[in-house]
Amino acid sequence: MRQINASIDVDRRLAPQDLAGSKVHAAMLARQGIISKEDESGIQQGLDQIASEITEGRFSFDEALEDIHMHVEARLTELIGPAAGRLHTARSRNDQVALDFRLWVREACDRAAAGLEALQRALLIRAEEAADALMPGYTHLQSAQPVTFGHHLMAYVEMFGRDAGRLRDARRRMNECPLGAAALAGTSFPIDRHATAAALGFDRPTANSMDSVASRDFALEALAAGAIAATHLSRLAEEIVLWVSPGFGFITLSDAFTTGSSIMPQKRNPDAAELVRAKAGRLLGSFAQLVLVMKGLPLTYGKDMQEDKATTFEAFDALDLSLAAMTGMVTDLRLRRDVMAMAAASGFSTATDMADWLVRVLGLPFREAHHLTGRAVARAEAHGLTLQDLPLAELQAVDPRITEDLRTVLDPRHSAASRSSYGGTSPAQVRRQVEAWKARLA
């Protein structure tokens, strides 16, 4: 029973939050005349000493004391005697742990949002540098149309911006203080919950004592936002794995973010990217685990909820590490512009430009232009040529009105530059979006 009941190996990480909540609670009790000023002074000094002992690694943890709350109370009793027992007036471990955990998740959201913004800044630097670097744009992982590498990176800037927004939204919703809800019904002592909420940086106290101790949706929402962010990180990691492979060869990574093979001396493996890709599973699994814990619990508290912390700690540890690693890789990668440009010209990537030209210049309906372009592609394939190199006679066999002017729009660089609609891939549009995001992040 002691082994399954104890949580100190996990919730010892909540020590800073537990001490902060206790200090605020003690100060409020004294202001309200619930405990004496002398008792409060002793409690505050004792809590400060415990904080120092934990920080310096001198604090003794014992499984028999079950959790961080009992450890603090036991040590406080050793330091100041019976007055320590007054600290628990008008609160329960139920609202205490709800407070500690909410404080921790709030900090985790702030940390992850800052990590996402750091990654965005790194992407913006590279996107600005590569605003005119050609590469293939893909659908179904098949070459589709020429785009710029800067535009490709800016797609992730947008994704990570939404991820940071979701974490900030989750933080705003969780910023209500459960302290003072006690076990589940509130307390008969004349406490000031608004004062403790303000002292701990909350917008307000929670409005229902049962909801205060029974809910973990603040953690679920944060985990959901983190899981979506990890999914985006995984997609970028997968692209890095592809781009450094010989089949693509678009970028290189230094030894700082790759490892060698134990048997093949020529290898440089993108292990950091592969691990970021894998760690997304930790966040997705953590969300699933906690939602399964919560889905069948009647109000209010059940010991099942002790399982909320390990999975959340693990998830945000993985997210923090993945963000740092990805920011490092984005900064470290080097483009092979010539290889990317050659790939951008392959696979008849400017076929859409030909169809657009037929619509714009010859006035054809797009469906007819699409059909004629397909015939031109077939003729180019038969001769082993690109569309741009296909002789005019072959093009005019598709439609005799085609002129040499078509050849200009079949150039991949012209194709990318022509996509100048808002949000398009043209270098000018990419640079505008970079500047807009710099302003937003500033």
| Enzyme catalytic residues | 140, 261
Task: Note whether 236 and 323 are within 8 A (CB).
Answer: no
The answer to whether the beta carbons of residues 46 and 26 sit under 8 Å apart is no
DSSP single-letter state for residue 86: G
Query: In terms of C-beta density within 10 A (0-12 exposed, 13-18 middle, 19 or more buried), how is residue 49 classed?
Result: middle
Which secondary structure element, helix H or strand E, spans residue 243, and what is its range?
A: helix 217-244
CA-only gyration radius of the chain, Å: 30
CB atoms within 10 A of CB 408: 11
Alpha helices in 333-411 (DSSP H): 337-345, 351-362, 366-383, 392-398, 405-409
Cβ-in-10-Å burial (0-12, 13-18, 19+) of 80 comes to buried
Nearest alpha-carbon partner for 21 in 201, 221, 206: 201
DSSP 285-339: HHHHHHHHHHTTPPSS--GGGGGHHHHHHHHHHHHHHHHHHHHHHHHH-EE-HHH
**Residue 117: CB atoms within 10 Å:** 16
Alpha-carbon span 416 to 150, nearest angstrom: 11
| CA–CA distances in Å: residue 242 to residues 30, 134, 238, 273 | 62, 17, 6, 10
Q: How many CA atoms lie within 13 A of 292 on its CB side?
A: 7
Q: Beta strands of 109-241 (E only): which ranges?
A: 134-139, 142-148, 176-177, 204-205
Q: Nearest Cα to 128, choosing from 437, 442, 441?
A: 437
Contact 272, 325 (CB under 8 A): yes
Rounded Cα distance between 45 and 62, Å, is: 23
